[in-house]
Structure 1
Amino acid sequence: MPTMTTDLPFAPPYKLKLAGADGERWVEVQADGSQVATSAPVWPAAGAASPSPSAARPKPASTPQAAAVLKVPFAEKDEAKRLGARWDAARKKWYVPAGVELAPFARWMDA
């Protein structure tokens, strides 16, 4: 049976709708996991001309801002991810995002 994960298929920042006892509210989730109150996303009006698909899609950054590049064995990838490491598919390397504490990743850092 497949296991469920709470990892989202995209990296922050993103907007999230939360429901609570005081009603619904929107927050923007930052790269460090913190949440900042924000307004609902603005969607184009029905029938409005939409931009071309290439114009609507943001251009990917050439390289993510990394505090450190890691050498993580495949068997340990889930642990590195749980600690906050991210996978750079273009470079095919694990990295620690800028602003994340490096100490937990010491065993995977290049000497």
Structure 2
Amino acid sequence: EQLSRIKPERVMAHDHMMIIMELLIQLIICVIKSQHEQERIETNNYLSEFKLLMRQMFWIGRHNPVVMEESMYELRHHVYAKDNLEIIDRLQHEKKINEMTIERDQLKQQVK
């Protein structure tokens, strides 16, 4: 009787350990991704490029409206390019999370 009571608890403990390990792996991956993102932001210098474009746009554009319009176009293009990068990163991240969820479900099926 005692053995039949201990076995499900042991299985539950094993499942909990698997979940904890899985969460730890996800946390480590998130930290690594965060570091990569930080490095990417530092190397791309979006803010300094943005400031430079703004400065050029207003310096040249005060005399010539055509140049001002062209600079606005460049600026918009620059901002959209950055947004597109973020969207692609987010989609790749979601895809990986979905794959990991599928793997986790398969592991759970194997354990049972």
**Above 0.5 in TM-score?**
no
Q: Which has the higher contact order (CA 8 A, sep 6+)?
A: 1
Larger Rg: 2
TM-score by length of 2: 0.21
TM-score by length of 1: 0.21
> Of Structure 1 and Structure 2, which has the larger fraction of its residues in strand?
1
> Of Structure 1 and Structure 2, which has the larger fraction of its residues in helix?
2
